[in-house]
Amino acid sequence: MPQNTPVITLPDGTQRSFDAPLTVMDVAADIGPGLAKATLAGRVNGDLVDASFLITGDAELAIITSKNEEALELMRHDAAHIMAQAVQELFPGTQVTIGPAIENGFYYDFARDKPFTDDDLKVIEDRMREIVKRDL
């Protein structure tokens, strides 16, 4: 059975051919180590994907770094999920309701019997840092 040999078209129109399926991060690394280090995500054929997304066929690829306009939205989105995980770890039984990234930040609504205190917020923030260090 023949193996897929993707041809990746970059935003400037250049094309790169590869011998096997590869991830967005693999393409970034092929372009250069600096780009690989800066890669946050990718846009494959118009769809926003994680840097570990496997490209199995010909595709248009835009690599997203912190210099891209949509990077801040990605980081806010991730931070919202990290906050939700921290709350659930620290306060079992707390329901996560809704939590989008918004224009100037992010939030989550939580359903629980008592409101969070200022002390709780500090503990949540510390747990968020721990979660990030876990590099899940």
Length of the chain: 136
Question: Is 131:125 a contact under the CB 8 Å cutoff?
Answer: no
Main-chain dihedrals φ then ψ at residue 97, nearest 5 degrees: -105, -70
pLDDT of 47 strictly over 50: yes
What is the DSSP-derived secondary structure letter of residue 57?
Answer: S
**Domains in the chain: boundaries:** 7-65, 71-134
d(CA 91, CA 120): 10
pLDDT at 72: 87
* 91-125 pLDDT per residue, tens: 999 999 887 778 888 888 999 999 999 999 999 99
Banded pLDDT at 136 (limits 50, 70, 90): low
pLDDT at 15: 97
Banded pLDDT at 3 (limits 50, 70, 90): low
Pick the CATH number of 71-134 from 3.40.605.10, 3.30.980.10, 3.30.950.10, 2.160.10.10: 3.30.980.10
CATH topology of domain 7-65: Ubiquitin-like (UB roll) (3.10.20)
